[in-house]
Amino acid sequence: MNTLELVLITGMSGSGKSVALAALEDAGHYCVDNLPPELLEAFVALQAGGRTRKVAVAIDARSKASLPELPALLHKLTTAGLVLTCVFLDAADDALVRRFSETRRSHPLSTLVAGDQDRHALLEAIQIERELLSTLKEQALVIDTTLLKPARLLSQIKDMVGQAHQGLTLVFESFAFKRGLPMDADFVFDVRMLPNPHYDPALRHLTGRDAAVAAFLAQQPEVQRMLDHIGGFLTTWLPELQADHRSYVTVAIGCTGGQHRSVYLVEMLTQAFAQRWHARSRHREL
């Protein structure tokens, strides 16, 4: 079982688990949806004896009776040599309600609440699901799909499975405050006080990835000071987080529109921290 790689997809119903499984299947994984946790150990043993070295399973709140035993089982399997990546897909309650309304599908836990699919009952089912999955979420890489289109989620999943599996994975994410905070962030830094290229007509249509914007921001002492402060904070505390057995840390950098300042800082921080950690960037608004 030494070289078997398992990606565990879990998360909220309606958050995009089927899209994630499709991405993993495209990436060459053997995929199983809604595998009961009590069958996971036998499934891993079976796959370890075969030719398939990359597998993915989706486990969610439909397995509510056996979910409490899953963290201990995952620890047992990784101790025995399984290479495990846990991904938790989440979304804001309003987004989940809208998706169920659009598809006219029942929530898997709707039988536990009265009123079936009216908004109040659906929100109650979502909260029950959040409580059931809270322990798994703490141990996983969280991807907030509230504002993600399926194609973007496909891209993120394929990018994620291409990363190294050992050590701590550090994700820097840019975002716009006007569109809300990312739900998957462990740390959030506000950079709206920095000089804004948006007010320069020559830079307004560009992003923080463009050379002209990068040159403008690199000349601003406040920007360098912000980079130094964020970098110093992370340099101090990332080793402590890794020592606490954290596998993933998401650092969100926000500005007004999510186009210039936050994008530039994310690119700079990713480059700096890639020298020591598995660091990657993503830009929510681009």
pLDDT digits over 183-201, tens only? 889 999 999 999 999 999 9
d(CA 132, CA 125) in angstroms, rounded, equals 11
At 164 the pLDDT is 44
In this structure, which amino acid lies at residue 238? L
Average pLDDT, the chain: 87
Residue 183 and residue 130 in contact, taking contact as beta carbons nearer than 8 Å: no
The runs of H, that is alpha helices, within 116-253 are 119-138, 150-161, 211-218, 221-243
At 117 the pLDDT is 55
Q: What average pLDDT does the segment 10-22 reach?
A: 91
Please name each of the domains of the chain with its CATH number.
5-161 (3.40.50.300), 169-283 (no CATH)
At 1 the pLDDT is 43
The single residue listed with the structure tokens 């043993």 is 45
pLDDT in tens, 94-110: 999 888 888 778 888 87
Looking at the predicted structure, is the pLDDT value of residue 27 above 90? no
- In 3D space, the residue among 221, 162, 181 whose CA is nearest the CA of residue 24 turns out to be 162
Looking at the predicted structure, is the pLDDT value of residue 229 above 90? yes
Q: In 10 A of CB 79, how many CB atoms? A: 8
Q: Above pLDDT 70, what percent of the chain?
A: 94
